[in-house]
Amino acid sequence: LFFFFQCDNAKGLKAFYDAIKFGPNHLMVFGGVCATVTSIIAESLKGWNLVQLSFAATTPELADKKKYPYFFRTVPSDNAVNPAILKLLKHYHWKRVGTLTQDVQRFSEVRNNLTGVLDGKDIEISDTESFSDDPCTSVKKLKGNDVRIILGQFNEEMAVKVFCCAYDEEMYGSKYQWIIPGWYENLWWEAWINSSQCLSKNLLAAMEGYIGVDFEPLSSKTNKTISGRTPQQYEKEYNARRGDGQSSKFHGYAYDGIWVIARTLQRAMNYLNSTNKHQKIEDFNYSNQKLGNIFLNAMNETRFFGVTGDVVFKNGERMGTIKFTQFQEQKEVKVGEYNAVDDTLVIINNSIRFQGVEPPKDKTIIQEELRKISLPLYSILSALTILGMIMASAFLFFNIKNRNQKLIKMSSPYMNNLIILGGMLSYASIFLFGLDGSFVSEKTFETLCTVRTWILTVGYTTAFGAMFAKTWRVHAIFKNVKMKKKIIKDQKLLGIVGGMLLIDLCILICWQVVDPLRRTVEKYNMEPDPAGRDISIRPILEHCENTHMTIWLGIVYAYKGLLMV
């Protein structure tokens, strides 16, 4: 049992080989902090039948059991955050995300693993962007692809650049959610803000609300651990013993690692006692593959509650607890945790603060809103129309009742009746033109397109045609320069109006047969939601239209214009 600390491949290998060659037989290797040294030694352990347990090596590369079959770790790997991220995405129903990754192997490996985790889980990675030094182009592409939920993998220095770019592109606030590594140092941005090109207040504005994901240093449960202490009691004793010494977030995993080794050796001894009375763990040597496999299997069976939570291995990987923190008012606040053992996510009540009234949408939600005729306005116009029709009915009744009186008879009561009836038809069209999608179905609306056109056209021609006929009669009489008595009877005037209606009928039938009116929806530019929700409102307006609308209206307007002239 030994430790090695130096992050130098040559020195690490030499220390390891010296221990193998000159030291006593070691049952296991405990340690390995730096990824490069740890991976080199872990790859060679099979040759000595040695099991290695690390408490701080988080590089995803070490999860390859074909390459590192004898390697275990009590600390979750960098990839362990991905199932937690998946659970968070599911919790908030985010089905469309984008990734932004710094071109470093560590981050690329996590991104690649995340792609596999999300595959088949009904979550689309709509855009995958990476960068070396300047993330602004990638951030701009994410915005161009309408990515709202951004999963980032980059270090602190690049994080400052990313959020500066996000501020410039307005990719922050209520419409966006950034999810990034949570292992940054406290006040991490202060070390890099001076090298950036944005103001501190702008950077903090863009950072507000981001969610960090990292392993939990110590369990938040109050249960007693295998040592008899609660995680809180352990932390208190740890802080008391280290005094002013620097703390490491891996100390709990190192502590649990000692217990893992102890339980592994105990389990191996129990196994040997029950199966082979003549062999002990002290008989282990580097060529003893049988004992090496016993240690390997015993460690795989580890399960207990430690200061970092449930200590369970799956293919040598720690099934640990992942914590979620959120950047709120310039400080990190824990908002939830994910337990990999039972695959559960717990969000602390009312701890997550989204910038809007609800969590951001995973894409721009366009809600079409039918622009309707104002009901009060429609009611007022309908009331005025009814009054007009009542007044017209009164005039019609008066005209019919007194049609034989001299003055009324001289004014052509039949023509007057047609004028009134035409006006009443035109009045009736007001009711039909006020009916839209808020009152009738789409099919009914399309029928109304034809009905109201016919009613208004016939009403207009009837009223103005009768007025035209009366005017023509007066014109014909006064144009009679010989002053001969000339009688133009109402029957002739009715024929004139009938002829005009026949022309209307021909135009309307051709219009209906050749190019009928259809319900058409016109869409306008998007508008922000008045209620402040993270959606865009696209106003739509329904109206009646056909392919050659301009031609048909031109024919009708030209013909009707002659009546007015």
* Residue 220 region by backbone torsions, left for phi larger than 0, else alpha for psi between -120 and 50, else beta: alpha
Topology classification of domain 9-75+255-303: Rossmann fold (3.40.50)
Q: What is the pLDDT of residue 1?
A: 41
Distance (Å, whole) CA 203 – CA 197: 10
Residue 99 CA to residue 139 CA, distance in Å, equals 10
List the one residue out of 278, 284, 277 whose CA is nearest residue 298.
284
Residues forming a β-bridge with 98: 127, 150
Identify the pLDDT of residue 347. Answer: 95
Domain extents in the chain: 9-75+255-303, 79-216+322-364, 368-564
Tell me if 9-75+255-303 shares its fold with 368-564: no
Query: pLDDT tens across 389-434, in order?
Result: 999 999 899 988 887 887 777 778 888 888 999 999 999 999 988 8
The CA-atom distances, in angstroms, between 280 and each of 134, 216, 263, 286, 291 are 59, 37, 16, 15, 9
Closest to 72 measured CA to CA, from 250, 227, 296, 320: 296
HSE-CB of 344 using CA atoms within 13 angstroms? 4
Classify domain 368-564 at the CATH topology level: Rhopdopsin 7-helix transmembrane proteins (1.20.1070)
Structure confidence at residue 562 (pLDDT): 78
CB 149 within 8 A of CB 175: no
CA angle 314, 64, 12 (to 5 degrees): 110
Q: Residue 468: what pLDDT?
A: 83
DSSP for 447-511, please give it: HHHHHHHHHHHHHHHHHHHHHHHHHHHHHHHHT-TT-------HHHHHHHHHHHHHHHHHHHHHH
pLDDT attached to residue 3: 46
The predicted-structure confidence for 231-278, as pLDDT tens digits, reads as follows 999 999 999 998 887 888 999 999 999 999 999 999 999 999 888 767
Residue among 310, 311, 324, 363 nearest 85 (CA): 324
Whether residue 237 contacts residue 272, with contact meaning beta carbons closer than 8 Å, is answered with: no
User: What percent of the chain is modeled with pLDDT above 90?
Assistant: 56
Residues 6+ apart with CB under 8 A from 125: 97, 98, 99, 115, 118
Residue 549 CB neighbours (<10 A): 13
* Contact yes or no for 37/9 (Cβ under 8 A): yes
Write down the pTM of the prediction: 0.74
Dump pLDDT digits (tens) for 45-79.
988 999 999 999 999 999 999 999 999 999 999 99
DSSP class of residue 211 equals: E
**Assigned CATH class of 79-216+322-364:** alpha beta
**Contact call for residues 99 and 129 (beta carbons, < 8 A):** yes
pLDDT beneath 70, residues of the chain: 1-6, 277, 480-487, 565
